[in-house]
Amino acid sequence: MSAKLQEIQNLLAQIGRPVQLMEVCGTHTMAIFRTGLRSLMPPSLRLLSGPGCPVCVTHDSFLEHALAIATQPNTLVATFGDMLRVPGRSGSLEAARAKGANVQVVYSPLDALAMARQHPDLRVVFLGIGFETTAPTTAGALVAAARDGVKNFSVLSAHKTMPNALSALLTSGEVKIDGFLMPGHVSVITGTSIYEPVARIFKRPAVVTGFEAGEILAGVEMTLRMIAEGRAEVGNAYAHTVTAEGNVKARALLAEVFEPCDDAWRGLGVIPGSGLKIRAAFAAHDAARHFPAPKVDVPETSRGCRCGDVLRGAITPPQCPLFRNVCTPWSPQGACMVSGEGTCAAYFRFS
Amino acid sequence: MCLAIPAKVLTVNGQEALITVQGVQRTANLMLLEETVAPGDYVLLHAGFAIRKWTAAEAQEQELLLAEVGYTHRD
């Protein structure tokens, strides 16, 4: 590891100016803290956390929709655990559950489908959160529900895809990003080729890497080498797991069930073509078509929470006035403190 | 949340496999998997679905994988 660190220092010296890299994936953020890498990095290299924590980027309007569904009679809302405590404009799913709403935590969308089979009297709604790794699993559950006629199973989709969000970040120019560390397991599905536009259009290196300390360092080294040599390419520092073409079968299933739509991201606003909505062929299982969205329009910043700025890399968590004061993992004021891979939670635990 | 974990395949039954992950047995759905798997192979598991396969030999090349499955931690 020390040889890699030395090489990173050499490359930074060669580049001769401060470098900012964005780790897009929330799991990378947590791994970089947990392994102590952040403290080992030379001062001229800054690692920024990006918008890759699915729960964190889920917009308040989605949570309000989920809460409205949870309070309907004969309804069961099934969700990944991280969503439970996210504070929305009218409370959290956890608070709704305490008041009697039927909200269950699941590990897989298939668990939610099993609940629907077991309880034909309940309308079971799975909250579809996550990027290209998770969306195909929701697609798998929807295909199984359609095939077996599980009429009481539906999905409220907030699934998102990463490339357009990165383009939006780079287009805004708000934050200087010299290169990207791309998510390892999202890329198992997408392949490395989806990052070509970042490299080609925006002229930034984009390197896929894994989650071990050595793999992350290899990713940083590869990215810095490209910067030093003036190359903006897609690199793969996780080659034993990720290929250029990805998992074609999973992507075909994704395309069968979902189509791109404009979608709202916390902190980034509405990004064209960045969301995944359920196709008309699966309308019977699309919760958005069965449960009307509530009309709420409160500014995101109404509670003083600066999650949105954190998600763009515009500020680090300690720059938020709520951080560590009123916002802690025990009393989170925003999604980035709730999620196990949220940037604020990572800063709270490790810095 | 976009983290997948390595799991060892114990038995295969159609579209499902019994797998062991960090000492716990559970089923994995195989509908997203491009490859076929057999007992002894390893898969990358995410939200109940296998999304990538390694043969036992490939897995052995990656000490990392075996270390994770065997619960030992190294840095």
Question: Is pTM beyond 0.95 here?
Answer: no
Predicted confidence (pLDDT) at residue B64 exceeds the cutoff of 50? no
Percent of chain B with pLDDT over 90: 56
The pLDDT score that the predictor gives to residue A45 is 96
Which domain, by its residues, includes A333? 304-350
Please indicate, yes or no, whether residues A205 and A346 belong to a single structural domain of this protein.
no
The pLDDT score that the predictor gives to residue B2 is 63
| Contact check, Cβ <8 Å, B47/A131 | no
For residue A295, what is the domain's CATH number? 3.40.50.11740
Residue A26 CA to residue A33 CA, distance in Å, equals 11
| Contact check, Cβ <8 Å, A133/B32 | no
Please indicate, yes or no, whether residues A143 and A175 belong to a single structural domain of this protein.
yes
Please indicate, yes or no, whether residues A246 and A339 belong to a single structural domain of this protein.
no
Predicted confidence (pLDDT) at residue A264 exceeds the cutoff of 50? yes
Q: What's the mean pLDDT in A143-170?
A: 96
Q: What does the DSSP assignment read for A305-331?
A: --HHHHHTTSS-GGGSTTBTTTBBTTB
What mean pLDDT is reported for chain A?
Answer: 93
Please indicate, yes or no, whether residues A145 and A198 belong to a single structural domain of this protein.
yes
Q: What's the mean pLDDT in A308-319?
A: 91
The pLDDT score that the predictor gives to residue B68 is 47
pLDDT, one tens digit per residue, over A218-258 is 999 999 999 999 999 999 999 989 999 999 999 999 999 99
Please indicate, yes or no, whether residues A343 and A219 belong to a single structural domain of this protein.
no
The pLDDT score that the predictor gives to residue B70 is 41
- A183 Cβ under 8 Å from any chain B Cβ: yes
Please indicate, yes or no, whether residues A270 and A309 belong to a single structural domain of this protein.
no
Q: How confident is the model at residue B61 (pLDDT cuts 50, 70, 90)?
A: low
Residue A50 CA to residue A26 CA, distance in Å, equals 7
pLDDT higher at A262 or B2:
A262
How far away is chain B from the Cα of A284, in angstroms, using its nearest Cα?
A: 22
Residue A49 CA to residue A93 CA, distance in Å, equals 26
CA distances from A169 to A22, A73, A132, B64 (A): 11, 41, 19, 34
Q: How confident is the model at residue B69 (pLDDT cuts 50, 70, 90)?
A: very low
Q: What's the mean pLDDT in A319-331?
A: 92
Please indicate, yes or no, whether residues A168 and A150 belong to a single structural domain of this protein.
yes
Please indicate, yes or no, whether residues A12 and A80 belong to a single structural domain of this protein.
yes
| Contact check, Cβ <8 Å, A130/B31 | no
Q: What's the mean pLDDT in B8-26?
A: 93
Please indicate, yes or no, whether residues A2 and A108 belong to a single structural domain of this protein.
yes
What mean pLDDT is reported for chain B?
Answer: 80
The domain B5-68 having CATH identifier 1.10.1740.10: the answer here is no
Domains of chain B, by residue range, sit at 5-68
The pLDDT score that the predictor gives to residue A278 is 98
Please indicate, yes or no, whether residues A329 and A248 belong to a single structural domain of this protein.
no
* Angle at the Cα of A186 from the Cα atoms of A258 and A32, rounded to 5 degrees: 145
Please indicate, yes or no, whether residues A156 and A183 belong to a single structural domain of this protein.
yes
A160: amino acid identity, one letter: K
Predicted confidence (pLDDT) at residue A272 exceeds the cutoff of 80? yes
Please indicate, yes or no, whether residues A268 and A312 belong to a single structural domain of this protein.
no
| Contact check, Cβ <8 Å, B48/A107 | yes
The pLDDT score that the predictor gives to residue A297 is 67
| Contact check, Cβ <8 Å, B3/A27 | yes
Q: What's the mean pLDDT in A199-203?
A: 94
Mutate to test the interface with B, among A185, A216, A338 (most CBs of B within 10 A): A185
Residue partners of A99: CB distance under 8 A and separation at least 6: none
Residue B50 CA to residue B41 CA, distance in Å, equals 12
Q: How confident is the model at residue B74 (pLDDT cuts 50, 70, 90)?
A: very low
Joined together, the tokens standing for residue A159 give: 């699934």
Joined together, the tokens standing for residue A135 give: 């969306």
Total structural domains in chain A?
Answer: 2
Among the candidates A283, A303, A323, a domain finishes at A303
